[in-house]
Structure 1
Amino acid sequence: MTNGNPDSDGGLTPSEQAVLDDIEEQNIDFLRLQFTDILGTVKNVSIPAHQAKKAFTEGIYFDGSSIEGFVRIQESDMRLDPDPDTFAVLPWRSNGEGGSARLICDVVDREGNAFDGGPRQVLKSVLDQAAEMGYTVSIGPEPEFFLFEKDEDGNATTRPHDTGGYFDLAPKDLASDIRREIIFTLEDMGFEIEASHHEVADGQHEINFKYDDALTAADNIATFRAVVRAVAEQNDIHATFMPKPIGEINGSGMHSHISLFDEDGNNAFADDGDEFNLSETAYQFMGGVLEHAPAFTAVTNPTVNSYKRLVPGYEAPVYIAWSDVNRSALIRVPDAAGVSARFEIRSPDPSCNPYLALAAVIASGLDGIERSVDPGSSVREDIYEFDEAKRAEYGIDTLPGSLGEAVTALENDEVVSDALGEHVAEKFVEAKRQEFGEYKASVSEWEEERYLETF
């Protein structure tokens, strides 16, 4: 169950031994063994650093029945298998006497097999499928978030921390110092930050980190959310990745740039002779993404609140189409060629489980390649201005309008369901059906204000 080839002395791989050396050199006292549940919530088991070798060679047991969507009580014994390549010191936990570090783990069942209900394993399985087809997958995520003030009792509010707008500078962008602190923390943990800026809405921000292979990208998204919230908390500010915390302003998305590379390291999406610099493989992958978009939306936009963002008029995609010039379509093709050729999927939001979301999108694209799916023509007009008849003329469908619709689409899509695996698909649908049912049974403040005195 160890990663790579163990040496002949201690039963450790070179990368695992390097982690032990780092623990000693950097005076690490505790290790956080990190993983996520099916809903994407980061979980961790904390162990003394001197247990690191045991963690690598024997694994660390935990109660899987206590984790959302994992196993029943009679199947509760599970193990965490740390990935040594994910070792990172936690800067906000470091001090003169000792610090903490984190290792992201795969989940292993009692027989020592990779647990098919583990979200990281789900993504690995889809990436194995891509590898069998001769591809590796590159992802460049762009997660957005809000910073809100707290009340006098320390509870989160929806009062934005600043009143800045898109690309504003101080004094309107009061959070520039917090963003800088987040960036320094991420860089200390090995991130390569490309850009950061204030987003359109008050209190809204975006920090972009360099594209990476899909598994590392998913790990990075999970780490990014933890770092943002930890640094905000240190500044007595609440950070949230809720897609639409305030009505009638832009919500937070997680636009994701995607490309495939072949076994020779060439960008399989690139064709400099094409109008959009995209290859036939890229178009087929895009076709699969568009075809399966209703189903994977349940995974990339997994909360009731996600569908308050996916409405016309707030720069979020609603329509299943692609374009190179406007942002009303699900997919946008940026002006990039050669090694940078790619397209951007604009629907995902940062509340998603990154492992499951990327697995669902990638599996959709791979199915497109296998079946040579045609994505249709680019739509260069603003689809927001189309009426229903014109959308029908162009053959443009819409994304699901609610979590309930999206879950139904997921249940009816064999490709996306198979990518998640029987265990995850069943548990995910069960959890989301319950969530949507609770939402339908609730009465909102809007309904009270609208109807209480009218009827």
Structure 2
Amino acid sequence: MTDFLDEFAAYEAKHGQPDRIELLLPDINAIHRGKWLPGNDAKKLVSGAVRLPLSTYAPNIMGEDIPETGLGLAIGDPDGIMMPVPGTLKPVPWADGHVAQVQCEMGEDGETISDLSTRGKLAAMVDRFAARGLKPVIASELEFYLLTPRETPEEAPCPPPHAPEAQNYELNVLDRTQEILTEIQQACAIQGLATDSLIAEYGPGQYEINFHHTDDVLEAADTAVLFRRLVRGVVQRHDMEATFMAKPYAEHPGNGMHVHVSVADESGNIFRHGGDGCGGIADTLGFAVAGVLETMAESQAVLAPHMNSFRRFAPGSFSPNLPDWGIDHRGAAIRLPDTEGPAARLEHRIGGADCNPYLAITAILGGVLYGLDRKLPPPLPIEDPNWEEPAPLGHDWRHAVDAFAASAFIRDIFGESFQHIYATLKYDEIAKLTSEITTAEYRVYLGRL
């Protein structure tokens, strides 16, 4: 942990002493929790003196402790010691004054990271690949909407002024929001987030950011989590709102998080060689495709973690709702943009922008490894004339959580305790949100029945 003091000294030499340090702890829903530390008190973070309850990792989406998880007051709500993640000390350019941020983990002894850490789950999955002499390489894409500011949290979203109903890569849209988008890109550069292209997506006020591919999977997931915080911070300074909610508008496309995956060994990308396998792709790529398809339904509760997430899977929506695959086919759940050469990869298109990237990427990589280990043959691609439509993915939240809770695959990659905690939190979220009577029910039923 003395490495953090060296990192902090280098930060001070470049930027000066910050007014405060924001300690960021992503919880089970990838919502940042933590503390503010005075900028002259960095030593406190490495002394074990900065603590939070370990249950901070696992509240429900509303921020409440749920006793049925076995955490919180059920066990006395013990503290964990906050530990900085090396290499994550960054300026916060959208904040007033000089503010720094650093990602943190927690553990009981100040050395071992808690089993509740979702980032730790992804690290363990990367270790599984390493044990086989393999290294996953990923890139993600995130979609989000800009909104006019709302008066109350209950108010429906409204697009920015003059936003067309279908933006669809329109450059004029980028021009009109240039000030905000440029500031987002500048903030990414300051924080070292490896962003690539930025486009106007289909929906009114919707945008997509692409991140560079990397074999540092943890950094890629960190980037996705930190980008969501960055966008909200920058946009707020312009008196706007931003949301990564999966489906903010019923009539417009939802926000997805697509993940591109390849796998390398000492000789390079193992998906790169075309072959005689299904669809003419490399056998290894076929195995990976089969693995993510076979585990997709069990993983859906982390790829689509909330009630609103499942609106993306409605029939006729813009999102794939079948566990299928195709060659450069954007209507398929698994798209293969390239099948030969160093760029050979699969694109997993099921996850929503509202997911926890650590958990979603863990589940996706777990599916890849599941297929590789078992040499699973893939089903026919969607372009094949003999293709038969598979059973659709569920559009029922509870059924998805039931599948997650009963899954041996999920238990293997996340552990039995985490599986129980996550499912318990989701059942609580289901109970709280589905018990509310909607205004639509009052409008249609109250005066007629």
When normalised by structure 2's length, the TM-score is 0.89
Deviations 1:154-188 (A, max 9, x none): 98641101423111122686323312211111111
Give the Cα–Cα distance (whole angstroms) in 2 for the partners of residues 219 and 313 of structure 1: 33
Alignment of 1:430 onto 2:435: no
State the 1:111 CA deviation.
6.9
| Distance in 2, Cα, partners of 1:173 & 1:432 | 41
Which of these residues, 371, 385, 388, is aligned with residue 394 of structure 1?
388
Partners of 2:318 and 2:238 in 1: CA distance: 30
Q: Which moved more, 1:79-88 or 1:270-279?
A: 270-279
* Offset of residue 279 of structure 1: 2.8
Runs of 4+ off more than 6 Å: 153-156, 274-277
* TM-score normalised according to structure 1 size: 0.88
Deviation string for 1:38-95 (max 9, x for gaps)?
1221112221233324424546322223553484332421012112212211112364
User: In structure 1, what is the equivalent of residue 139 of structure 2?
Assistant: 140
Contiguous gaps of at least 5 residues in structure 1:
3-11, 383-389
Question: Which residue identity lines up with residue 437 of structure 1 in the other structure?
Answer: A
Residue matched to 1:217: 220
Deviation at 1:444, TM superposition (A): 2.0
Matches within 5 A, 1:178-197: 178-197=180-199
Q: Aligned letter for 1:170?
A: N
Taking the aligned partners of 1:145 and 1:319, their CA distance within structure 2 comes to 23
Report SS of the residue matched to 2:342. helix
Sequence identity (%): 28
Matched to 2:25, the amino acid is: F
Query: Structure 2: how far apart are the matches of 1:46 and 1:418?
Result: 36
What amino acid does structure 1 have at the position aligned with 2:324?
Answer: A
Specify the alignment match of 1:204 in structure 2. 206
> Does the CA-based 8 Å contact 2:290-2:376 persist in structure 1?
yes
Alignment-derived partner of residue 228 in structure 1: 231
Q: 1:294 aligns with which of 292, 297, 303?
A: 297
- The Cα shift of 1:442 comes to 2.1
Change beyond 3 A, Cα 1:206–1:31: same
Contact 1:156 1:238 in 2 (8 A): no
Contact 2:271 2:340 in 1 (8 A): no
2:419 is matched by which residue type in structure 1? A
* Match of residue 79, structure 1, among 78, 81, 95: 81
d(CA) in 1 for partners of 2:19, 2:227 = 23
| In 2, Cα distance between equivalents of 1:166 and 1:289 | 29
Q: CA deviation at 1:21?
A: 1.9
In structure 2, the residue matched to 1:346 is: 349
Counterpart of 1:23 in structure 2: which amino acid?
E
2:100 counterpart letter in structure 1: A
Whichever residue aligns with residue 39 of structure 1, its letter is: N
Aligned-partner Cα distance in 2 for 1:311–1:282: 29
Where do 5+ consecutive residues of structure 2 fail to align?
60-68
Deviation at 1:343, TM superposition (A): 0.8
Moved more, 213-222 or 268-277: 268-277
1:40 is matched with 30
- Match for residue 104 of structure 1? 103
Aligned residues of 2:83 and 2:110 also touching (Cα < 8 A): no
* Amino acid in structure 2 at the alignment position of 1:46: W
**Rounded Cα–Cα distance in structure 2 between residues aligned with 1:329 and 1:252:** 16
1:18 aligns with 2:7: yes
Aligned mate of 1:261, from 260, 264, 269: 264
Q: What's 1:450 paired with?
A: 444
Write the mapping of 1:267-306 to structure 2, written as runs, cut at 5 A: 267-273=269-275, 278-306=281-309
Contact 2:300 2:400 in 1 (8 A): yes
Task: Look up the equivalent residue of 2:205 and give its one-letter code.
Answer: G
Instruction: Supply the AA of the counterpart residue of 2:217.
Output: A
1:123–1:331 distance in 2 versus 1, CA, 3 Å: same
Give the aligned partner of residue 387 of structure 1: none
What is the rounded CA distance, in whole Å, between the counterparts of 1:381 and 1:239 in structure 2? 40
- Give yes or no for contact 1:326–1:381 (8 Å, CA) kept in 2: no
The amino acid that maps onto 1:409 is A
Kindly tell me: are residues 170 and 300 of structure 1, through their superposed partners in 2, closer, same or farther at Cα, counting changes over 3 Å?
same
Range that drifts further, 36-45 or 109-118: 109-118
Match of 2:41 in 1: 51
**Cα distance in 2 between the residues matched to 1:136 and 1:37:** 26
**Cross-structure match for 2:62:** none
The 1:449–1:343 alpha-carbon spacing in structure 2 relative to 1, beyond 3 Å, is same
- Distance in 1 separating the partners of 2:331 and 2:173: 32
CA contact (8 A) 1:39 1:428 kept: no
Query: Partner of 1:166: helix, strand, or coil?
Result: coil
Shift of 1:406: 0.6
Determine the C-alpha separation between the residues in 2 that align with 1:75 and 1:24: 39
Distance 2:207 2:358 in 1: 23
Aligned-residue CA RMSD (Å): 2.5
Displacement, 1:323? 0.6
Separation of aligned partners in 2, 1:402 and 1:174: 39
Distance in structure 1 (CA, Å) of the matches to 2:45 and 2:174? 48
How far is 1:130 from its partner?
1.4
